Amino acid sequence: MTSIDEWGIVYGMKRFIFRVLRVLFGLFLYALGSCFVIQANVGLGAWEAFSVGVSNITGLSIGDVVVVTGLFILVIDVLLREKIGVGTVLNTILIGKILDLLLWLGLIPKMTGFFDGLAVLLLGQVVICLGTFFYVGAGLGAGPRDSLMVAVGKRVSAVPIGAVRGMLEGAVLLLGWALGAKVGVGTVISVFGISFIMQATFHVLRFDVKAVKHESLLQTARVLARGNKM
């Protein structure tokens, strides 16, 4: 093995580790944002409403519902031929567990005032969008929910990705409401606000989520095995 080959392997591994760390940071931000939305106490966001609703009727923790839901959506993503990568797997498993940990630690108190709650809700949405930017941008596979968003976005390319996200969130919210989750003024703001906030966040960061080329698990394994640049 030449020194050039060795350098290529080292470079590839360092780059891969950096990308995984980017994914992990993004997942933490996403879970943190979801925690903010729940603790805002002015009406749950769409996915939070669904998770809380299922949690109430099954006894599972909110985080475990997030994990199980992610696995179910993962099957849909596969059927829609979206790539499943390292980031997808990490997302499916970790966001729910990090959310459970944050709620258990109680670092973010539940808001008691409407305007305080509204501010925390909006902050949570911004953090969620930033989390999406970090882990999707790593190119190691979007999370199951975001893969669904991207898959639908590709099929309706004329529709802004923020609007696609808003439509999906609206459908999930109806399910959460039917399961008895708390809804309120904050819920309406959350469902309609997430599309605008995501669109604005991606615009500021000059990030085109549809242009990201993700690596599947098999592709990542092959690249690492060959020691090529990733």
Position 96 scores a pLDDT of 93
CB 133 within 8 A of CB 87: no
Position 103 scores a pLDDT of 93
Q: Tell me: the pLDDT tens digits for 140-155?
A: 887 888 778 777 777 7
Position 44 scores a pLDDT of 79
Continuous H helices in 41-160: 46-58, 62-79, 86-105, 114-137, 144-155
Any residues with CB less than 8 A from the CB of 130 and at least 6 apart, and which?
26, 29, 33, 201
Position 1 scores a pLDDT of 47
Within 167-224, strands assigned E span none
Q: Tell me: the pLDDT tens digits for 73-128?
A: 898 888 888 778 898 999 999 999 999 999 999 989 999 888 899 899 989 989 99
pLDDT of 17 > 50? The answer is: yes
Position 8 scores a pLDDT of 55
Backbone dihedral angles phi then psi of residue 175, each to the nearest 5 degrees:
-65, -45
0.95 exceeded by the pTM? Answer: no
**Integer CA distances (angstroms), 98 to 37, 47, 95, 124, in order:** 15, 15, 5, 15
